[in-house]
Amino acid sequence: MKMKKFKSFLCLFITSLFLFSLSGCQTLEESSITDSSSKIIEVIDATSNADSAEADSSEIITTEPATQEQTTTAPRTEPPTQAQTELIIDENGTYTSKDDVALYIHTYNKLPSNFITKKEAENLGWEGGSLEPYAKGKCIGGNHFGNYEGILPEKEGRKYTECDIDTLGAKKRGAKRIVFSNDGLIYYTDDHYETFELLYGSEE
C-alpha cells in the first residue's frame, strides 16, 4: 500500500512539474525533464526491488524440534525367555556339539536322548571306541563324574554328570567332555578334565 501511494505521488509530481514548465513559470528543457523523470522511475524500481527482497527474506521456514512422541527409541534387547529357548533347541532333537549340548542341558536339565550311559552301551556289546557298530546315532553320556582332583567347586548335595562331545558317528571318543551339576553348573573341557570352562551357572 505504501509503495502504491508513493508511486501515485511521484506521478502527480512529475505531471505538475511538466505543466508548470509549459505555463512559462519556469523554463526547463524537455530533455532535462525527461532525464529527471527517468531517474525518479529508476529510484522507484530500486525501492520496489529492495522491498520485495526484504519480504522474501522474512518468509523463513522454521523447523520445529521433534517432540517426545515423534522421537523413536530402539527397543532394548532382552535375554531370551525359557519358552523362546525351548523353541531354539528341540527337546526331541539330536545334539553332539559343545554349544548345542550345553544349551540343551541348561534348558531341560537333562541330556539329549541320543546319549546313553557306558553300562547301556556295554549291554549292547560296546567295549570302547566308536558306538556306531553297536548303537548307531548314539553317544556316551550320563555317567557320574567324581571330581576326584577337586578342580570343580564342591557343595553339599551337588553331583556332577559327564558326557562326550563331538563323537556322533566318530571312530573314537576323543578328549572333549561336558560336565554338569544338578544345580545348574555346566562346564566344558577339551583336554580330558585337565582344564574347565564354565558355560552356564555361577560358582558363587
The verdict on whether 192 is a catalytic residue reads yes
The residue with cell 570352562 is 197
Q: In what order do the strands lie in the sheet with 160-164?
A: 115-116, 139-145, 160-164, 177-181, 186-189, 197-200
**How wide is the angle at C-alpha 159 spanned by C-alphas 164 and 145, nearest 5°?**
35
From 42, 91, 192, 197, the catalytic residue: 192
From 162, 197, 203, 204, the catalytic residue: 162
Q: How many beta carbons lie within 10 A of that of residue 163, not counting itself?
A: 23
How is 63-97 classified by DSSP, letter by letter?
Answer: -PPPPTTT---PPPPPPPPHHHHHHHS-TT----S
Max intra-chain CA distance, the chain: 143
The verdict on whether 64 is a catalytic residue reads no
Cα gap 193→147, rounded to integer Å:
9
According to DSSP, the β-strands at 115-116 and 139-145 are parallel
Residues designated as active site:
162, 192
